[in-house]
Amino acid sequence: MPNDLTPVIAASTRWLLAAYPAPPGALSRALAEAQARQATMLAAALRYPTSLDVQLLHLLAPSGSHRLDWLTGCDPHPDDTAWRTWVDETVVSWAACLLADPVLAARAHQALTATEHHGEAGGLQRLTDPGDRDAEAAVLLRHPDLLEAIACLHRPQLMEVLSVDSAELS
């Protein structure tokens, strides 16, 4: 049984970039994608902290993008349905929280050590300490007001996870 979060991270990143596109230009798109991918990777690792959690995700399947599409007013093209089934609503919501608040993202990065994915994180600099160019490239993707409809869906659960993990780190 698969033991990685790659399909969920890829689909959730793609959904975020479709809902909150980068300004025109290849560099802007690449920087926005890097930030979205870092946020979804961190959110997925916190949401599914053990290999058993990941295996259950693959067995039961993620929630899909239907509710997220409805909330953002997106009318997906019929050809887009395959990848949208791998979108995880909670991961996208948590990623939105992390994108909107770099301080929260840094706290989540610290909490990652309590998961089995701590070695997979790599650098999350663009997420936790975005530079000016990063902020310009992800102006919609990081806008707290625009993200609020998605972020508020599962923010309490994220805060609970971070509170528990922060207590374990102390």
pLDDT by position in tens, the chain (length 170): 456 999 999 999 999 999 999 999 999 999 999 999 999 999 999 999 999 999 999 999 999 999 999 999 988 888 878 899 999 999 999 999 999 999 999 999 999 888 887 666 668 899 999 999 999 999 999 999 999 999 999 999 999 999 865 555 44
Contact 62, 2 (CB under 8 A): no
Q: Residue 148 is encoded by which pair of tokens? A: 């609020």
Q: Is residue 1 part of a domain?
A: no
Q: Is residue 83 part of a domain?
A: yes
Question: For residue 80, what pLDDT is reported?
Answer: 79
Its domain, for residue 84, covers 6-169
SS3 content of the chain, % helix, strand, coil (to 5): 70, 0, 30
Contact 46, 111 (CB under 8 A): yes
- The residue type found at 49 is P
Q: Is residue 42 part of a domain?
A: yes
Q: Is the four-CA dihedral 78, 69, 36, 32 of positive or negative sign?
A: positive
Q: Residue 95 is encoded by which pair of tokens? A: 């990623």
Number of domains in the chain: 1
